[in-house]
Amino acid sequence: MAMRELEAKLTVPDEGAFRALASLTRIGSVRVSWRGCRLQQDTYADTRSLRLLRAGYACRLRHVGHRAFATLKGLGGAAGCLHEREEFEEEVDNPSVGALLRMGEPPGSMVRWLAGDEQVVPLFTLVTLRRLATGSHGPHHCFDVMLDRARFFGPGGEMTLLEVELESVDGDRALLEAAASELRREYGLEASGLSKFERGLRWAGLAPGPLPRTGRGKATD
């Protein structure tokens, strides 16, 4: 299924700020209602020569609970803390490259076309403990709050990232920007111009310089 995603991404400076964010009840005029945690594992894949990346895409295989999803996302440059991108996502039997490539529809068909005659292989894995909340303005559900403790795993070892994301439900860019600004003022957060994919590439030493961009996309996660 093709969709567009609009979200604000902010890095959390330390454990104290992370704990404070976990007990949020309001962001300005928006009520925050926590609804639990989930553990998710993401594996990013490409060819060894990074054909998907060079075409402006990132491929993610996600395992969460008893479900698995394959996603292909367009890359782009963030505007401050705001990231907007197109993505193609479908549920699959298991979060493997084989399951992805057996798909008859996007994203599998697009990955096969972009990869050509090269083998698609895993690049690195990211395990995230995600706390989820609903942001509401009166009775209106305006965005989702995701507080992440993410650990990157690859040949070079491990890296931990603390991050909060506000993902728009209603497409209200101004409200999303205002909420992000409030969090930055109150908790010392910083705008994240990099997606988890881009951070992982740099950490693993795989980023080939400036990343290509596709369409109106403004980063990927």
Q: Say if CB 75 and CB 58 are below 8 A apart.
A: yes
The span from the CA of 186 to the CA of 213, in Å, is 33
Mapping DSSP to helix (H, G, I), strand (E, B) and coil, where does residue 25 land?
A: coil
The pLDDT value given to residue 74:
86
Q: Say if CB 192 and CB 81 are below 8 A apart.
A: yes
The pLDDT value given to residue 3:
77
* Region 9-20 average pLDDT: 97
Alpha-helical runs (H) found in the chain: 15-22, 51-54, 97-101, 108-115, 173-187, 196-203
The pLDDT value given to residue 193:
81
Q: Say if CB 47 and CB 55 are below 8 A apart.
A: no
Distances (CA, A) of 42 to 64, 114, 122, 126, 201: 9, 21, 10, 5, 14
Helices 173-187, 15-22: axis angle to 10 degrees equals 130
The pLDDT value given to residue 83:
82
The pLDDT value given to residue 20:
98
Phi, psi of 93 (to 5 degrees): -65, -40
User: How many CB atoms are closer than 10 A to CB 55?
Assistant: 16
The pLDDT value given to residue 221:
44
* Region 20-48 average pLDDT: 97
Domains of the chain by residue range: 2-203
- What is the sign of the dihedral through the CA atoms of 52, 157, 189 and 36? positive
pTM of the model: 0.87
Candidate from 42-46, 69-73, 213-217 with smallest mean pLDDT: 213-217
Distances (CA, A) of 221 to 30, 58, 102: 24, 9, 23
* Region 131-146 average pLDDT: 96
Domain boundaries 2-203, corresponding CATH code: 2.40.320.10
Candidate from 16-30, 95-109, 131-145, 186-200 with smallest mean pLDDT: 186-200
The span from the CA of 198 to the CA of 52, in Å, is 13
Q: Residues 57-96: pLDDT tens digits?
A: 999 999 999 999 999 998 866 677 888 888 899 999 999 9
* Region 149-166 average pLDDT: 90
Quote the DSSP letter at residue 108: H
Q: Say if CB 132 and CB 34 are below 8 A apart.
A: yes
